[in-house]
Structure 1
Amino acid sequence: MLLWDGGLIKVEICRKGGRTCHAGTIQQFALDEGELMTIGSDGAIRGWDFESIDTADCNDDSGLFEIEPMNEMVIGRNVSLSSMVKSCLPDSFIWFAQDSNGGIWKLDLSFSNITQDPECLFSFHAGVIQGMDVSSTSHLMATTTLDRSVRIFDFLAKKELTTSRYKQGGTTLTWAPRLVNPSGGLVVVGFEDGVVRLLELYNPQSLRVVAGRSRYGDAELRLKQAFKPHNAAVTAIAYERNGEILATGSMDCTVFFFTVGDRYDPIGFVTVPGPVQGLEWSPQSHGKNTLLVLCRSGHVVEVQSPDPEAQNHGTTYHISGLPTRNFTFSSIKSHIKEIARRQALKEKKQKEREAQLKKAKEEGLEPTEEELQEVEEEEELPPLYTPDPPSPLCCGFYSLPGAFWLSMVGVEMEGVAQDIEDPLAYSIETAKQKLEMDRMRREAEMRKVERRKMLAELQNQFKQLLEKNQGLPEHVRLHRTVHTHKPIHPCTLNPPLRPEVFSIITNQKAF
């Protein structure tokens, strides 16, 4: 803490031995009955004597003023307080604190022998939820975020059943289907360091005995297996339609396959053109068992399902020779619009032609062969628009066998209307007048350029005439100074001048 006096720092407030007041950032100050409360991101609340701090001074050159807090409360580990408000009830010592790690706390700051322990009123994720899925056999929901927690909720009772914390943030999550886990208690979670964890919900059957009235103390997430197939964040997890293969996708542009059983064993991996956005297995109605890999780079790859019985005896897990199909996309919107425009223009011309033939028939005129046979040349359609860089994918799924749907961003996006933000922008009339002035100015500049070009040509001709004059015999050569008092014509002279000599004279006079 720093004590300011006007625009200068008077002293630095610290604890005995030069220790800082908090182990983290002080997020808020609160003054309550002569006590200065500091709320820190280290999960601690400390009360200081305000009068001692207000009159603090330093007796040496260190600039430090040491003081110990009057009262202190440390809520607990993994708590980062961001703000705190006091209860509106009179004579109350109850405060409510917001935990930026996901929680609301009820605190008794009476600091007496009967002070109650901190109570967490609400617990929730901190930040954006990265993965969420629901159980197919019960009223349970699993979520994970980058706050390094995985939570199970009973959404009928609107209660959190259990929370499991890890050293890395979760990035994706899927609940194993009943085909894989009949008890319906297996959750597969991917983390930002490339690790995949199989978490088993302890005794999930008792949680759905009565909907919304589960015994929450029985719920517990236990680690069944952990493996690391990727070197970057896991972004997608999907079970094959028969429940025999698990596929995981990552930001490292790879898709890894595992056999499903009591223990998940690696089959191998394939590389894809970009970071994986999503994975979709083909449904049972399709003849081929394939995996649709959606990449954030806008590419789509269809991969044939690997053989789960295949043995890998090589030095790498990379699967080579697996049948794949790669897709990139272009926009056909411009083609559709151009075809519609040409069709409308063709119909308009047809109507005009029919009207002309009808008029000629009424006037008793016979139509010519050219009028009867109209030949129209078809122009080539404009090229397809391919976004660069490719448009990112939102989602995708199989439809008919061999076909799939995609939702993409920006491929055929309509242009955003341009707003007028400049207060000095021209009005419509002023803009039109300015355009006219600019047009006149451009025309004047063009006339100047033309005149300069003409003068340059005349100068060039004059130089050529001077050279030709120097090449003539001396008795017919014109001198540099020629005086003419009236317009002359070469035919009126005696003897008449040749045309080239007369041209030299007139140009000499002009210049």
Structure 2
Amino acid sequence: MEPINELVVGHNVWLSSVVRSSLPDSFIWFVQDSNGAIWKLDLSFTNMAADPECLFSFHSGAIQGLDVSKKSHLMATTTLDRSVRVFDFVANRELITTRFNQGGTALGWAPPMVNQSGGLLVTGFEDGVVRLLELYNPQRLQGAAERSPETDAQLRLRQAFKPHNAPVSAVAYDRSGEILATGSSDCTVWFFTVGEWYNPIGYIHVPGPVKALDWSPNSHSESRLLILCHSGHVVEVYSPDPGAQESSKTFKLHNLPRRSFRFKSIKSRIKREEEVKRRQAAKEKKMKERAERFKEIREEGIVFLEEEEEEEKKELPPICFPNPPSPVCCGFYSQPGQFWLSMGGFDAGFLYHCKLSEDQDEDPLQRQDEPFAFRHISDADDNPICSMTFR
């Protein structure tokens, strides 16, 4: 079959579905673009036919990084569709979209102490590159709700560097805004000095792919970084000295003090203890009901006794440990040396309160550390908490 006509919609457009307008005798079609758009097409193929019009533009795929400006009502997001977008969530509209040659995997808005204008974004990409993007004239954009749909907003590249060999998974400024830490699935964390130009301090290896980074808050006496690994390992390190390079041949920080934690599942034990309590409560309730009815019908006392014995013979839930271990979803400091973890997989459904042991002689890869407390989260066994933020 030979085509009669052809229409080029645009570059980087992946058409996946077309629907004709419901108006009778209409040549208008609406097209879904898997790259994140809805298009309006005039397929009359006449001299008066309108050019393709993009009605809606949005991310395709899951959001990989999101943060909100602390200076204005602006929000930035990035995904593997290779775009970084800035939104005005008060005006309910997108300000700007910038595309790159790699998908975005992490994003953070620099705090005001780092950038007074409030327009600096730190973005990580799947090829290990970190880009500092500056939003052009963000102070004017704070009044964007009163502006026309056309805006002069721009994301300008301020600096780019490649510290990692795998996707960047986390970025975080320390509490003083003097150091930037970046983590990756290549099991490394890099530290950079913050200024007009970001310079590397050094890096460390951690036991697993980095899931999240959490600097200690101002309430803690010392500045430390909590590194959460997808594998269930947690590492705490002191904030490095900007002049800590041990030699000019390598940036590896060999002597940076650290403490390690490796999550050991306690969910099956929690479930077992809950079942014991449930059976005990059910037993006490049956005994009370039997005593009340025994006064009326003595013969039924034997029947109730047999049912109770059958309940007691049922096996309790077994104690088991997931293999492979449950992944870490997120976490945060509670007080010095202690932190909360949200786990995925088998151990979902709880927040676990954990403590870094003073005994750090054991190999971090062989450690087994149990949480000392927990909080049950309703309806979270199949939907673990993946992000928590405090403002």
TM-score (norm 2): 0.74
Deviation at 1:159, TM superposition (A): 1.1
Per the alignment, in what secondary structure is the counterpart of residue 316 of structure 1?
A: coil
Contact 1:236 / 1:277 at 8 angstroms: preserved in 2? yes
Unaligned runs of 5+ in 1: 1-52, 54-66, 349-383, 415-511
Counterpart pick for 1:236 among 160, 170, 176 = 170
Unmatched 5+ stretches in structure 2: 284-318, 351-391
Question: Is 1:292 equivalent to 2:226 in the alignment?
Answer: yes
Q: Distance in 2 between matches of 1:71 and 1:147?
A: 30
Cα distance in 1 between the residues matched to 2:73 and 2:245: 39
Q: Could you tell me which amino acid in structure 1 is paired with residue 324 of structure 2?
A: P
- Which residue of 91, 98, 106 maps to 1:164? 98
What's the offset of the Cα at 1:413?
Answer: 6.9
Tell me if 1:117 matches 2:39: no
Matched, 1:90 2:24: yes
Distance 1:259 1:288 in 2: 18
1:291 to 1:95, Cα distance in 2 relative to 1, 3 A? same
- Name the counterpart of 2:123: 189
Of 65, 82, 86, the match for 1:152: 86
Tell me which amino acid in the other structure corresponds to 2:252.
Answer: H
Determine whether 1:203 maps to 2:137.
yes
1:212 is displaced (CA, Å) by 6.0
Alignment pair present for 1:393 and 2:328: yes
Paired positions, count: 311
Partner residue in 1 for 2:184: 250
Aligned to 1:314: 248
Partners in 2 of 1:402 and 1:339 — Cα distance?
29
Deviation at 1:139, TM superposition (A): 0.9
Q: CA deviation at 1:111?
A: 1.0
Counterpart of 2:335, as a letter, is L
User: CA separation of 1:111/1:331 partners in 2, compared to 1, >3 Å: closer, same or farther?
Assistant: closer
Partner of 1:106: 40
Alignment of 1:220-369 (within 5 A): 220-311=154-245, 313-332=247-266
Q: d(CA) in 1 for partners of 2:88 and 2:254?
A: 44
- The reply to whether residue 138 of structure 1 matches residue 92 of structure 2 is no
CA contact (8 A) 1:157 1:211 kept: yes
Change (3 A) 1:288 1:80: same
Q: Distance in 2 between matches of 1:331 and 1:125?
A: 36
Name 2:343's counterpart in structure 1.
Answer: 408
Is contact 1:156–1:212 with CA below 8 Å preserved after alignment?
A: no
> Residue 261 of structure 1 aligns to a residue in which SS?
coil
* Alignment correspondent of 1:442: none
CA distance in 2, matches of 1:235, 1:114: 49
CA distance in 2 between counterparts of 1:84 and 1:222 reads 36
Matched residue SS, 1:72: coil
**Residues 146-169 of structure 1, C-alpha deviations (whole Å, 9 max, x = no match):** 111111111111111111111110
Query: What CA distance in whole angstroms lies between the structure 2 residues aligned with 1:89 and 1:387?
Result: 57
Displacement of 1:205: 0.9
Deviates more, 1:69-78 or 1:159-168: 69-78
Asked which structure has the greater CA Rg, the reply is 1
**Contact (CA 8 Å) 1:206, 1:215: kept in 2 or not?**
no
Q: Does structure 2 conserve the Cα–Cα contact (< 8 Å) formed by 1:207 and 1:216?
A: no
Identity within the alignment, %: 66
- Residues 265 and 412 of structure 1: CA distance in aligned 2, closer, same or farther (over 3 Å): closer
Whole-Å Cα distance in 2 between the matches of residues 138 and 76 of structure 1?
34
What letter corresponds to residue 394 of structure 1 in structure 2? C
- CA distance in 2 between counterparts of 1:339 and 1:94 reads 61
Deviation at 1:230, TM superposition (A): 0.3
Q: Counterparts of 1:325 and 1:214 in 2: how far apart (Å)?
A: 53
1:123 Cα deviation from its structure 2 partner: 0.3
Q: Per chain length, whose mean CA-contact separation is higher, i.e. which structure has more relative contact order (CA < 8 Å, sep 6+)? A: 2
Q: What secondary structure, in the 3-state scheme, does the structure 1 residue paired with 2:139 have?
A: helix
Q: How is 1:211-222 mapped onto 2 (pairs within 5 angstroms)?
A: 211=145, 213=147, 216-222=150-156
Q: Secondary structure at the match of 1:278?
A: strand
Deviation, structure 1 residue 215: 6.1
TM-align CA RMSD = 2.6
**Is contact 1:207–1:215 with CA below 8 Å preserved after alignment?**
no
